Homo-oligomer: A and B are copies of this chain.
Amino acid sequence: MMHAASSKERYEGLLCALGDTREGGCTYGEAMVVGIMVQSIASLNYINYQLLVINFNADTPGAPRQWWFGGGTDLTPAYIFEDDVKHFHSVQKGACDKFDASFYPRFKKWCDDYFYIKHRDERRGLGGIFFDDLNDYDQEMLLSFSTECANSVIPAYIPIIEKRKDTPFTDEHKAWQQLRRGRYVEFNLVYDRGTTFGLKTGGRIESILVSLPLSARWEYDHQPVEGSEEWKLLDACINPKEWIC
Contact = CB atoms under 8 A, between A and B. Distances in A.
Interface string A188-218: 0110000000110010011011101111111
A23 interface: no
Interface residues of A, number: 29
Q: Copies per complex?
A: 2
A218 B208 contact: no
A178 interface: yes
Interface string A208-241: 1110111111111100000000000000000000
Contacts of A202: 119
B218 A217 contact: no
A42 interface: no
Contact of A190 (B118, B199, B216): B199
A205 B120 contact: yes
A182 B215 CA distance: 8
A74 B208 CA distance: 28
